[in-house]
């Protein structure tokens, strides 16, 4: 059985004939050690750009290089070169900026870099902003890093005019307070974790989605029943399974 990952995450699908749901404003991707969530970011990017010629994507990449995401989108049969040339896709390679800075850039300057890039986007309609990975900016702060990034994210979500945000974070006990803050701010939470039984050729990990109850928008703790899928990343698609399917009953 194949479930569409993006529809499970609450995102409208490009080319779907059904009435599209309203895309969540803040999607949080929590990535545990042993899995790589960049495939989901590539799917969100290409889907958003395919949905409308008026849509734009700004990707701030610190966990992987810009070339990594370009290659991932091309595997999904999306022409990133054309999208970049037309201005619909902008990828900021934070690690490349850090290297080019010759050691002159530190935590505050990197956060200012994000702010400067975002300030150039308000005139573009339907912009999806993707930040990968927020914990990187905490490690770049010499002192009080967690509080600095919390303040930055809060200000970003409260003041920015962009329509949608996807925030990716590497889950760790040392960032528990930061992750709790992000969970409170998110409309949809996607958790990626490895298989508890170890590696398995047919599967890459477990994907769990929690959505905020639209009936109680001010109560972040009240969420819809979670959906859990097993997934396998393939070249041009992500294949999903539910627990108990033939061949994977014991996982």
pLDDT, residue 1, reads 43
pLDDT, residue 187, reads 94
pLDDT, residue 17, reads 76
Determine the Cα–Cα distance for residues 157 and 109; give it in Å rounded to an integer. Answer: 19
pLDDT in tens, 235-247: 888 888 887 665 5
Determine the Cα–Cα distance for residues 131 and 176; give it in Å rounded to an integer. Answer: 19
pLDDT, mean over the chain: 83
pLDDT, residue 67, reads 92
Determine the Cα–Cα distance for residues 74 and 80; give it in Å rounded to an integer. Answer: 7
What are the extents of the domains in the chain?
28-202
pLDDT, residue 47, reads 93
pLDDT, residue 22, reads 85
Distances from the Cα of 190 to the Cα of 37, 53, 187, angstroms: 10, 27, 10
pLDDT-derived band at 75 (thresholds 50, 70, 90) equals confident
Tell me which fold the domain 28-202 belongs to. Answer: Rossmann fold (3.40.50)
Determine the Cα–Cα distance for residues 247 and 160; give it in Å rounded to an integer. Answer: 47
pLDDT, residue 179, reads 92
pLDDT, residue 121, reads 58
Most confident of 4-8, 43-47, 214-218: 43-47
pLDDT, residue 14, reads 87
pLDDT, residue 160, reads 65
pLDDT, residue 44, reads 94
pLDDT in tens, 103-143: 666 777 778 877 777 776 555 668 899 999 898 888 888 77
pLDDT in tens, 78-101: 989 999 999 899 998 888 888 887
pLDDT in tens, 178-231: 999 999 999 999 999 998 877 777 889 999 999 986 655 555 455 566 889 999
């Amino acid at each position: 059985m194949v479930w569409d990952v993006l529809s499970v995450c609450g995102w409208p699908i490009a080319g779907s004939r059904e009435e599209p749901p309203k895309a969540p404003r803040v999607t949080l991707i929590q990535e545990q050690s042993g899995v790589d969530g960049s495939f989901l970011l590539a799917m969100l990017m290409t889907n958003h750009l395919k949905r409308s010629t008026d849509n734009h994507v700004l990707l701030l990449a610190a966990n992987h290089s810009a070339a990594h995401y370009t290659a991932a989108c091309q595997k999904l049969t999306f022409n990133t070169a054309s999208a970049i040339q037309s201005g619909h896709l902008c990828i900021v390679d934070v690690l490349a900026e850090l290297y080019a800075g010759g050691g002159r850039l530190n935590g505050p300057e990197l956060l200012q870099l994000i702010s400067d890039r975002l300030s150039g986007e308000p005139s573009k309609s339907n912009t999806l902003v993707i930040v990968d990975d927020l914990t990187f900016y905490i490690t770049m702060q010499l002192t009080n890093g967690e509080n600095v990034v919390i303040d930055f994210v809060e200000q970003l979500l409260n003041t920015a005019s962009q329509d949608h945000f996807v925030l990716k974070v590497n889950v760790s006990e040392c960032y528990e307070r930061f992750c709790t803050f992000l969970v409170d701010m998110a409309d949809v939470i996607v958790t990626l974790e490895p298989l508890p039984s170890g590696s398995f050729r047919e599967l890459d990990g477990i994907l769990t989605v929690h959505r905020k109850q639209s009936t109680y928008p001010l109560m972040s703790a009240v969420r819809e029943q979670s959906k859990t899928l097993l997934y396998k990343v393939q070249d041009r698609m992500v294949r999903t399974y539910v627990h108990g399917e033939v061949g994977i009953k014991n996982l």
